[in-house]
Chain A
Amino acid sequence: MPLVEFRDAGYRIDGKTVLSHISFAVEAGETVVLLGRSGSGKTTALKMTNGMVFPTSGQVLVEGRPTVEWDPIRLKRRIGYVIQEVGLFPHFTVAENVGLVPKLEGWSRPNRERRVDELLEKVGLDPAEFRPRYPRQLSGGQRQRVGVARALAADPALLLFDEPFGALDPITRHELQQQFLGLTRDLHKTAIFVTHDVREALRLGTRVALLQGGHLETIATPPEFRRAQSGEARAFLAGLED
């Protein structure tokens, strides 16, 4: 059974179609990258996975169950989420940010502390130094690492990434992409990753799903995607050549 399955899922709001007839499945261990221009519906598709948005037609299934049938809070706590502007809580320290979901889940304090240290090390931040800091005392790259640590905190099988590295300089971005690959491989995580950067999509994805105007154009492995003939795919691939 796939971990996530879109079955003819669509989304309309205020008479406007954001997504229509989206069908694809994400198997455990995969990283599916949703690639598309702004307004292609990729972020909406991501938000459908953890029930931030529900399809207005068709279904999205997580672990075989339609998202509408899940308890909305349980569903979200089972899925890690990393947002574009990080969304760290500015009034929480790094340790409090990372330990939030375990705390909501009622873990004991020592367990939480241990988990926070373990995760900070995993994302390459020294716990002793970074635990007590506030988000504003971090660089963009460090904030993003904390965001990833926070998403991993309750050990979710599935992680969602909404253009997490979009605002970083190219070097930090590359570092974090490498780290992302390491983490998803070592921890056997399944991920859905939204980006508009074709390089990032081909580097990180086990499959790339190209969205255009709310439709799923192509879904293919990176080598297949490089040979894709559709206009939108060619338009994105043209960006690789310069």
Chain B
Amino acid sequence: MRPDLANDVLWLTGEHLVLVASAMAAAILLGVPGGILLTRRAGLRKWLLGFASVMQTIPSLALFGFLIPIPFIGGIGPRTVIVSLALYALLPILRNTFVGIASVDAAVCESAVAMGMSDGQVLRQVQLPLAAQTILAGVRIATVTTIGTATIGAAIGGGGLGVFIFRGIASVDSTQILAGAVPAAVLALLADGGLGWIERRLSAA
């Protein structure tokens, strides 16, 4: 491999990681509290889960198109890409947080309440620890998908490994395409393996 290509791979992998990490941080910060809220406000379930499901059905290029004209969150560049990726990642996290907490054994929650735990104590000491594995599974699915989807971000100047892929397609150069696709696949596998390992550790506890 040419040394300048190797340098580019490192640089763009870094950019890619920043895109994915920012989007995942935003999705987790919204999705986990959102999922908790859903377990406590039944009326919101249809709306929030519906919104997140609809987001998933919008093709990513179209979503970029919708977001570009919106002030503050839109525009050309990584910001729009991060917002879109976060919206895609929201559903699995939101849903798994909700399902994880809702499927904690009712007898366990009831005895927690009967022992005089406050709502916050039941959540922190009982529901979240017991739902952690399911929530993490949602984060894992979302992360792996986001790593792949983030390659499309290069279409609107978001940077990341997609830059290679678009460049390779334009110049019919499979080396360039592989230089983007292989590191993206490796990142996805590492993320899957790493988060899967944490998930198994949680289930052993």
Contacts and interface: CB of A to CB of B under 8 A. Distances in A.
A37 B28 CA distance: 47
Nearest to B115: A101
A216 to B, nearest CB: 23
A87 B109 CA distance: 8
Given A77-B115, A104-B115, A89 B126 contact: yes
A77 B108 contact: no
A83 B110 contact: yes
A214 to B, nearest CB: 21
B108 A81 contact: no
B102 interface: no
Contact of B114 (A50, A74, A91, A104): A50
A88 B130 CA distance: 12
A76 interface: yes
Contacts of A101: 115-116
Q: What DSSP secondary structure best describes chain A's contact surface?
A: mixed
B116 A104 contact: yes
A175 to B, nearest CB: 22
A73 B118 contact: yes
Q: What DSSP secondary structure best describes chain B's contact surface?
A: helix
Interface string B181-205: 0000000000000000000000001
Contacts of B117: 73, 104
A88 B126 CA distance: 11
Interface residues of A, number: 22
Contacts of B110: 52, 83, 87
Contacts of B107: 83-87
Interface in B118-136: 118, 121, 126, 129-130
Most buried by A among B105, B108, B115: B115
B115 A76 contact: yes
Contact of B108 (A52, A84, A90): A90
A73 B116 contact: yes
B103 interface: no
Nearest to B109: A87
A77 B114 CA distance: 8
Contacts of B115: 76-77, 81, 100-101, 104, 150
B112 interface: yes
A74 B105 CA distance: 24
Given A91-B130, A104-B121, A52 B111 contact: no
Contacts of B5: none
Most buried by B among A50, A52, A74, A89: A89
Contacts of A150: 115
Interface string A137-151: 000000000000010
Interface of B: 105, 107-108, 110-118, 121, 126, 129-130, 205
Given A73-B117, A75-B116, A81-B114, 19 more contacts: A73-B118, A74-B116, A76-B114, A76-B116, A81-B111, A81-B115, A83-B107, A83-B110, A84-B107, A85-B105, A87-B107, A87-B108, A87-B110, A87-B111, A87-B114, A91-B129, A91-B205, A104-B116, A160-B114
25 contacts: A52-B113, A73-B118, A74-B116, A81-B114, A83-B110, A83-B111, A83-B114, A85-B105, A85-B107, A87-B107, A87-B108, A87-B110, A87-B111, A88-B108, A88-B111, A89-B108, A89-B112, A90-B105, A91-B130, A91-B205, A101-B115, A104-B116, A104-B117, A150-B115, A160-B114
